[in-house]
Amino acid sequence: MAAPVTAAGLGTLSVSGSFTPDWSAPHVPGRVLVVGGSGLSAQSLSALSTVRTQTVISGLSLAFTPSGESDEAFANRLEATGLKVQPDYVYRKLATVVNDPGYPGNDGFASGGTNVTQNYLTRVRAERAWTFLQGCSKTPAGVITAVLDTGTDAAHEDLQGRVLPGAHFVGTTAATVDEDGHGTATAGLIGATANNGKGLAGVIWGGQNLLPVKVLSSTGEGSTSTLVKGVNYAVSQGAKVINMSLGSTVAGATDKALDAALTAAADSAVLVASAGNTATDGVYYPASHSRVIAVGAVGALDGVLACYSARPNEKYPRPLDIVAPGGASNCAGATAAQQMLILAPGNKYALAAGTSESAPLVSGVASLMRAANPKLSAEQTKSLLLSSVNRANGLPSWTRKQPYGQQRSNVGAGVGLHCQVGVRPCSYRYEGQTPRSRLSRAACKSYPGHQFRVALTPSRLTRFTCSVDQTGAYRRAALML
């Protein structure tokens, strides 16, 4: 059993700027968050001495609202003494309910003629990333990837040997136990064991690199305090990618505590979050955080955002960064075969849909990229990942622009873009010739000094751009798959 995680081992939270708490947003009743802890005035210390408090991490504490007083009134009283106070906002898993009769939990029907497959892996061209990495003599395995969710069923047959001990910050069961199923589904999309003859394949093939961090309860709810602890814990354990298939409609600027934790975490980890499952509320938080990759979803059609996917609007203009397959849900014309095949606790499999399913695909890509390129920083990985998706007209083709400026995730291009950065160059050999006109110095201007060595490409893969320096060495290679 993993050793208990204490507040002292989760770092210190540093928050700056003015506070504008939103007490109308969903929050945990009966308590408030007090930000800061050093240099308090005598008046502040006196106010806190009369109430029950609990340390979340250094620099962040819970103060429990006295009986007969509202949370907002209690917060106002503390603020009057100079304390910085905010709600402990509620965050929930982002999952939609598929209403097809054959979806688990509904009436069901004889579906012997329906063969549900992982067509989403084909659509994001995961197999080309695996092939590319193998051509570079690399195993298609990822770095430590944290899954902030409801826990992960480590005993599942398709996750054997894949799951680290992790930690739980809500409930009483270990992070490797999942009473809800949402976290197991998310973890499976990222890293279900591939090529084992069972179930399905995750984006990252193998290795013990899935870090379950239980921040959502068995009912799928967590709070600012659990998320802050979860984010800091993931960073402390060396996670290079953090997946958050969860969110809230709270305006991110009002959750100063989580905002600060995410900002600090982004220095070392690629942060990925589901954008949300309502089309009219804008991008949810934490996906709307400026340093988080906001992932929307396409359903059965690559050229159209899924009916449920969050998207920018006039009130909430924050754009989506990437869209990836998330299942058809209950959109018009949806069928069971168009949903996402996922893992479920107890060695089971199920169907699901939502941006909770699209975000893990992007996290898997980022994990492969950082494993293939150990010297890439989190910010470089994020920039390269976003530059590898296609920006042409309409989602159906990899080379067409997409509505709203979104880009559909392309695993092959994301990983193939940088097989090795700043270490030794790798080789990937094709037969054929690359026309000289396709070599472009402009392709590597943003990343001077990053060197790659790529052999010639066949005519069927002529959509290939790279640049060559004065010595003839390839500077940057981008497989436009």
Query: Which residues are annotated as catalytic?
Result: 149, 182, 356
Q: Helices 256-265 and 224-236 sit at what angle, rounded to 10 degrees?
A: 10
What is the number of residues in the chain? 481
Cis bond before residue 286 (omega within 30° of 0): yes
Cis bond before residue 312 (omega within 30° of 0): no
C-beta separation of 94 from 277 below 8 A: yes
**Alpha-carbon span 23 to 254, nearest angstrom:** 10
**Alpha-carbon span 416 to 321, nearest angstrom:** 19
Pinpoint the alpha helices (H) of 205-315: 224-236, 256-265
Locus of tokens 């962040």: 60
Locus of tokens 């003599």: 137
Secondary structure E strands in 206-299: 210-214, 221-223, 241-244, 246-247, 270-274, 292-298
Phi/psi of residue 10, each to 5°? -110, 15
Structure tokens at 269: 């980890």
Residues in Cβ contact with 151 at an 8 Å cutoff, skipping those fewer than 6 apart: 166, 168, 173, 174, 175, 176, 177, 178, 179, 180, 183, 184, 212, 214
**Alpha-carbon span 347 to 385, nearest angstrom:** 33
**Alpha-carbon span 186 to 147, nearest angstrom:** 7
**Alpha-carbon span 203 to 367, nearest angstrom:** 9
**Alpha-carbon span 446 to 388, nearest angstrom:** 13
Phi/psi of residue 172, each to 5°? -115, -10
Alpha carbon of 148 to those of 74, 215, 284, 363: distances in Å? Answer: 30, 6, 16, 12
Locus of tokens 């309860």: 217
b vs e for 390-403, b when ≥16 Cβ sit within 10 Å of the residue's Cβ?
beeeebeebeeebe
Structure tokens at 331: 């959109």
